[in-house]
Structure 1
Amino acid sequence: MTQPFDSRVGAYALIIRDEQLLLTHWNPRHPGFEGAWTLPGGGMEPGEQPEQTMVREVFEETGFHVDSDGLVNVHSYWMSPEQRLDGQQRGNHACRVIYRAHITGGELAVEENGSSDDVAWIPLTQIGRTKRLDLVDQALRLAGLAGQVEGAPTPPETVAEQDVSTEPGRGGER
């Protein structure tokens, strides 16, 4: 018998310019986790298509307007109840749709009152030494770019991006 679990579909952008990767600092403002760098993107809203989600989320988190350059791949991540930051006592299956994208306008800006608290262009040569979520490594691998990342390897965080409130024990409110 299958145990109950939650699921979340998110769409993310792999944006590389001048040998630098655009990343956002995901900070759930949770006492047990300080946050880490990740790809811009996030959870789908009702009725959205994944590509629309990616475009909307990139703008919300970075201030940049983007166009998709196509699907990289889809990656799923199983999160045990112990990995969840919202206190739910069941697993969560995250389905992450990853696109390549390029900037068409806008200006670099940090999201206000959201789950991201910083945005930056990180040189590919520094990704291996950057505190990051596993999504970054998976996206680079799926895009065939893992070999471009240099430096002393820092293991990615074993926490997946989640929709969490600022109070432990409450459900994933957006």
Structure 2
Amino acid sequence: MHFTEFHVRLAAYGLAVNTADEVLVTWFNGSTGAPACWTMPGGGVEFDENCSDAVIREFFEETGYHVTPGPILGEHHTTFPATADRAPVRSQRFLFAVTVESGVLGTTEVGGTTEFARWVPRPELRSLTPRADIVDVAADALDRPARGDGQPNVNE
């Protein structure tokens, strides 16, 4: 299918791990019609916004933390069929490593899709249910061996 025949939803998410080896996740409330589930902090990239800026904005809105984005750790896409009132949709998601710089845990966006954020032990990440596919992308990134400098190995 040619790119002019479908819509694209671009999204950027962040993966934060604290010193207690906990991962920050959020609870998506299902208010857009998609099922409620655990997901990574992040969301849609605005029209004239780059992905790194979207991660910074979304992370603060959903978690209360100011972050610095690092490398892209993974990507995922999914598609949705056409409906009577829209063309098919491709949802393209990128997962960035992020470093929490400051802030206080709490959702700052009023009336948004995130109900709350929570730190969960890293080993429990894959057992969260229900969960969005981007959580598995994050778990896969965490399972890859680190490079010699301690940074995630994003080339495997």
Structure 2 length normalisation: TM-score?
0.79
CA-based RMSD: 2.4
The residue correspondences of 1:53-64 to structure 2 (distance < 5 A) are: 53-64=54-65
Maintained 8 Å contact 1:137/1:146? no
Maintained 8 Å contact 2:10/2:44? yes
1:37 aligned partner:
38
1:137 aligned partner:
136
1:6 aligned partner:
7
Q: Does 1:123 align with 2:125?
A: no
**Percent identity, aligned pairs only?**
28
Maintained 8 Å contact 2:125/2:139? no
Change (3 A) 1:139 1:128: closer
Maintained 8 Å contact 1:23/1:37? yes
Gap regions ≥5 residues in structure 1: 148-174
Runs of 4+ with >4 A deviation: none
In 2, Cα distance between equivalents of 1:89 and 1:75 = 22
Instruction: Report the Cα offset of residue 130 of structure 1.
Output: 1.1
Change (3 A) 1:138 1:79: farther
In 2, Cα distance between equivalents of 1:22 and 1:92 = 28
In 1, Cα distance between equivalents of 2:43 and 2:71 = 17
In 1, Cα distance between equivalents of 2:95 and 2:34 = 27
Secondary structure at 2:112's aligned position in 1?
A: coil
Q: Does 1:21 align with 2:18?
A: no
Give the length in aligned residue pairs: 141
